[in-house]
Each structure stands twice: as C-alpha cells, then as structure tokens.
A and B are shown apart, each in its own frame.
Chain A
C-alpha cells in the first residue's frame, strides 16, 4: 500500500498570510490530485498534476509536482477565510484503477 503523508496535519494562520502544505511519499506516482473538503461536504477536485516538475496555478493557489513524482506542494498566497477546509492529496500509482488518499491538512484562516 502506497502511503501519502501530508504536513502539517493542522495549520491555523491569519488572513493575508502565505502558506505551503506538503504531500510526500516514498513511492512514485503517475499523477497527483488535490482536493478541498468543506465541513459536511465531500471533497472537490482542485487540480491534477501529471508531469514531474509541473506547476499549476489556480488563482492564489500554486500546485507543484516534484521532479521525481514522489511529492507535491500547495502554496496559497494571501490566504482568505474562504480557503478554510481540509486539503487532501491523492495519487495514482501507475495503472491502478483507484486513488490513494493522503492523511489531509486541516487549514483554518482567521479573519
């Protein structure tokens, strides 16, 4: 079973600050997805990265896939209360029909 460790597990910062959360594994993944989950709802896909070293931007969110395809990061610039939620990374292990989900980072942005 491939394990995806996310850090930090919890993060609470003031509105306007920048932050980075990480998704790490000892295994290589063919692609990684990032989801955000709000209380009482299911996760919603933010982005998929498929190429080693790839960087994707979604407004104030920047996602990067590691060169070796074993890790990924999510950087948020000027965090806003609407960014609050549980951020989950999920990896596809080369031809596997199902995703492996990470342990999650619970982010709270304080107004």
Chain B
C-alpha cells in the first residue's frame, strides 16, 4: 500500500493564480482531511470529509474549496492564491473519526509559496 499520496511536493504560485493540490489514499478510509502548517506551528484544519459526496469546513476554510467524488481522492482547490496561503499542506485519512480514537495517516505534504 502506498498510503496517502500528495502531489505536487513543491509549488510556487503568483498572486491570483489557481491550483489544485491532489490527495489520494489506497487504504479505503472513509475520513479525509486537509491541514495547513505554518512555520513552527501546529496543524490547522481546512476541510474534511466523512465519505464520498460529503465535505465540511474546518477552522480555516476561507480561500479553499474541496470535493470528494470518490473514496480515494480528496483534492484541495485554491482559486485566487494570496500570500497568506503560503504554507505546507498536509492531507490525512482515517478509517473512522476522532471519536473512535482512530489514528490519522498523513501524506508527506505540499510546500506552497505564493509570491
């Protein structure tokens, strides 16, 4: 199993450009999450999904969109990139939710710079 795979690993965007961060998992997990991690900080939840066709906002959803058309894929879309979106983005998945003490499996991250 590859686990959670994120692409690309690095990307530089100009202000106002758009892009999609890809995330796929091969563990048949129901729950998927997108986090951002600013330098020296913990993780902040952007969006999450409890299953295909269902998405919900996290702490910091503004400026982002997601979709979950399949169990495996959970892409994150930035429509109008802003410097404040410079961060490292992590996708994670779990079989069940936090209430079941499920561990999260993380991808290796996408480092995004908006200049």
**Taking beta carbons and an 8 Å cutoff, which residues of A are in contact with B?**
1, 4, 6, 9, 30-31, 33, 35, 40-45, 48, 50, 88, 90, 92, 94-99, 101-104, 106
**Pairwise interchain contact A44-B99, C-beta atoms closer than 8 A:** no
**Pairwise interchain contact A42-B99, C-beta atoms closer than 8 A:** no
Residues of A with C-beta under 8 A to B45: 98, 101
- Give Cα A109 to B59, complex, Å: 33
Residues of A with C-beta under 8 A to B40: 9, 104, 106
**Pairwise interchain contact B98-A104, C-beta atoms closer than 8 A:** no
Of all chain B residues, which has the CB nearest A29? B98
**Pairwise interchain contact B108-A98, C-beta atoms closer than 8 A:** no
As a 0/1 sequence over residues 65 to 92 of chain B, the CB contacts with chain A under 8 angstroms (1 = contact) are: 0000000000000000000000000101
Q: Is B42 engaged at the interface, CB distance under 8 Å to the other chain?
A: yes
- Contact A88-B97, Cβ < 8 Å, known A42-B107, A43-B106, A97-B48: no
**Pairwise interchain contact A97-B99, C-beta atoms closer than 8 A:** yes
Cross-chain contact of B98 among A9, A41, A44, A97 (Cβ < 8 A) = A97
- Give Cα A94 to B101, complex, Å: 10
Residues of B with C-beta under 8 A to A41: 106, 108-109
**Pairwise interchain contact A42-B109, C-beta atoms closer than 8 A:** yes
- Contact A99-B42, Cβ < 8 Å, known A40-B108, A42-B108: no
Some 11 contacts from A to B, beta carbons below 8 A apart, are A1-B59, A30-B99, A42-B92, A43-B43, A43-B90, A45-B103, A48-B103, A90-B104, A92-B99, A98-B97, A99-B104
**Pairwise interchain contact A98-B42, C-beta atoms closer than 8 A:** no
Q: Is B41 engaged at the interface, CB distance under 8 Å to the other chain?
A: yes
